[in-house]
Amino acid sequence: MTDEIEVQGQKCTEEICSFEFPKQILMVVTNATRGANGQRTGVWFEEFAVPYLGFLEQGYEVTVASPIGDPAPIDPASENLINDVKWSQAKKALNAPLKLNTVDYMVFDAIVLPGGHGPMMDLAKDETLGKIINYFATQNKLIAAICHGPAGLLPAVKDGVAFVNGRRLTCFTNDEEIAAKKQDLLPFYLEDALKTAGAEFVKEGVGVVNIVEDGNLITGQNYQSAKAFTDAIIKYLSK
């Protein structure tokens, strides 16, 4: 019998040692600093920081990218002193994203789109992101988006059919926009745009945690869903 040895935490035989490579996650964030009414916006910090740090805790390798590669702005309404300290590593990651069209997206196991109103302004019409989403769809790789992140699913159209057509999903709802008094910030209502593209929209009440899983698509309704969203992604990738 061949003895087992341990090399860097991996159990191996003396002849063969197989290593499990870490999951590769691509997180795509906005570069938009202003909404339709000129009000400051950007990434909703919790929706980036909670998944980002959760993935690192799992040993995943995380690459952050944005449409133009410049630092991703954080919506000032999502910052506070306690979280700035607790999530400082995540804030640093937002300072130096790669330019999206330079990323070798084929090497990743999952793509994750955090929200904030910023994605409504740029990710919603980013052709490179649409191409990447279509690739992940054809390869049955995980696609995940939270709150306004699903705006980044809209450019994914193949042969005239939207990626979201027939898919069960959620996002920050019209009711939540109204409750937050963000209507003037919007170039359009994301819930309506997803429905128009053929999505089967699934929503809960304002501020209620809601995660919708449909095959290789995971979506979260709001920032309150950030932890559950992260857990759902990790569970999926652990299969």
Tokens of 76: 């000032």
Strands 98-99 and 61-66 turn out to be: parallel
Tokens of 19: 């290593």
8 A C-beta contact, residue 190 and residue 197: no
Tell me how far CA of residue 78 lies from CA of 41, 45, 48, 91, 124, in angstroms: 10, 6, 11, 12, 21
pLDDT in tens, 140-188: 999 999 999 999 999 999 999 999 999 999 999 999 999 999 999 999 9
pLDDT in tens, 203-238: 999 999 999 999 999 999 999 999 999 999 999 999
No. of helices (H) and no. of strands (E), the chain: 8, 13
Q: pLDDT value at position 19?
A: 61
Q: pLDDT value at position 8?
A: 41
Tokens of 213: 């899983």
| One-letter amino acid of 147 | C
Give the count of beta carbons closer than 10 Å to the beta carbon of residue 236: 16
8 A C-beta contact, residue 26 and residue 111: yes
Tell me how far CA of residue 83 lies from CA of 44, 77, 86, 87, 159, in angstroms: 12, 12, 5, 6, 44
pLDDT at 4 over 50: no
pLDDT at 17 over 70: no
pLDDT at 14 over 90: no
Burial of 112 (0-12, 13-18, 19+ CB in 10 A): buried
8 A C-beta contact, residue 32 and residue 44: no
pLDDT in tens, 73-97: 999 999 987 777 889 999 999 999 9
135: Cα separation from own chain's centroid = 16
Q: pLDDT value at position 18?
A: 52
Give the lowest-confidence range in 13-22, 56-65, 204-213: 13-22
List of domains in the chain: 26-237 (3.40.50.880)
Q: pLDDT value at position 12?
A: 53
Give the count of beta carbons closer than 10 Å to the beta carbon of residue 46: 25
The rounded mean pLDDT for the chain is 93
> How far is residue 50's CA from residue 223's CA, in Å, rounded to a whole number?
10
